[in-house]
Amino acid sequence: MDLRTYTRTGLAALALALVFAPAKASELRSTSRARVAGVVVHDAAETLRDFCRTENGQLVLVLPGGSRWELVTSTTDAAISNPGDGAFHPYETAEVEAALAAVNFPLRGISAEVFILPYPRRASLESAAGPGLILLSPGVRKLSREHQHSEFVHELGHVIQYAIMPDTDAQAWDTYMGLRGLDASAHQAGSPHADRPHEIWAEDFRALFGGAAATQNGTIENADLAYPTQVAGLDQFMQTVAANAAAHINTSLVAAPLGHGAVTFSRIGQRAAVLDVFDAQGRRVASVEPTVGENAIIWNWNGTTAAGTPVASGVLFARARDAQGGATRVTVVR
């Protein structure tokens, strides 16, 4: 589902410039904030603990940047038409990671935060995605592996479309619509769900580039359209658009606050150097060793000084010692 109500300020806060290539299964990490390639996955427990709060007796999801949604916490709520087995069943972090690792697409420059929701949003019970953001909604019964992979890769398709082929790229969309045989009068944002170009793109991405579990059903939502593998030139077109977008990636040092004072810094390239963190007065408070990925350098800082003392909330600055990528400012919140 295309998340079209996500705020612009929320997008700026959530878009992480962790540039990546598809990770191997052996490289996956099973932590509460797992990082697979450029995607940060917040599991259901972390989402509940760090991004939810109770307001006037209602549980509310509040994301960095201010976007917020009320959550439905009981299957007996009137918003839930089918109570299932009486409990909500969130996505499994390991399955989300595995689904991402199986994607066969040039993902350089794509990044996102994935929030595995402990409860569905009242405004929309479905999973959804926007630029740099994926919200995975729980089921009322245990979710199959195939469902988790299929839904996640579909939502990832939305993230990728926003990144490499925004709506402002009229030429690319004209080419895509032509390849797909879509009629602009019948296939637009206000059309029924299966006829919306964004949804067709996301399904095309899943069918063409998802792993075996994500494509097992061999169908797409819009049964009136040819299956993507039968559309000559479609896969090459999507990969070419991705390659063109990757050629214009910003190589600046980027900061991604992770909560509780922790921050991930990243930049494109493979040239490693120690990263220094300074306070507003220019005093160095910490130095961080780099991690070298296939296409990016990443510095994971836990928000403490060299002596292990937590840094107070406030504005800080970071710069790699080789001066590549410039300096970046970050606001630390505990």
- Full pLDDT tens readout for the chain, 334 residues: 766 534 333 333 333 332 222 333 222 223 333 344 467 788 999 999 988 999 999 999 998 667 899 999 999 999 999 999 999 999 999 999 999 999 999 877 677 889 999 999 999 999 999 988 999 999 999 999 999 999 999 999 999 999 899 999 999 999 999 999 999 999 999 999 999 999 999 999 999 999 999 999 999 999 999 999 999 999 999 999 998 887 776 678 888 888 788 999 988 877 788 899 998 888 889 999 998 876 688 899 999 998 889 998 889 999 988 777 788 888 887 7
Residues 6+ apart with CB under 8 A from 137: 117, 120, 121, 125, 126, 127, 128
Given the structure tokens 């921050």, which residue do they identify? 263
- Provide the H-helix boundaries in the chain: 8-14, 44-51, 93-101, 145-164, 170-180, 197-209, 234-246
Do residues 54 and 159 share a domain?
yes
Examine the domain organization and report whether 261 and 198 are in the same domain. no
Distance CA 86, CA 92 (A): 19
Q: 271: how many CB neighbours lie within 10 A of its CB?
A: 13
Residues 162 and 270 in one domain: no
Total domains, the chain: 2
Predicted local distance difference test score (pLDDT) of residue 26: 27
Q: Tell me the C-alpha to C-alpha distance, in Å, between residue 46 and each of 31, 50, 153, 289, 291.
A: 10, 6, 22, 26, 24
Say yes or no: 74 and 220 in one domain.
yes
Q: What backbone torsions phi and psi does residue 153 show, to the nearest 5 degrees?
A: -65, -35
Strand partners, 58: 55
User: Which of these, 4, 44, 43, lies nearest to 128 by C-alpha position?
Assistant: 4
> Are 64 and 23 in a shared domain?
yes
Q: Are residues 172 and 34 in the same domain?
A: yes
Query: Does the residue 1 lie in any domain?
Result: no
What's the rounded Cα separation, in Å, for the pair 212 and 210? 7
What residues are paired with 318 via a beta bridge? 277, 328
What is d(CA 274, CA 245) in angstroms, rounded to the nearest whole number?
A: 29
Q: pLDDT value at position 38? A: 61
Q: What is the pLDDT, as a whole number, of residue 65?
A: 64
Domain extent, residue 292, equals 254-332
Asked whether residue 232 falls in the same domain as residue 267, the answer is no
Shared domain for 118 and 196, answered yes or no, is yes
Q: Are 318 and 255 in contact (CB under 8 A)?
A: yes
Is 124 in contact with 1 (CB distance < 8 Å)? yes
Q: Give the global pTM.
A: 0.72
Asked if residue 231 and residue 296 are part of one domain, the reply reads no
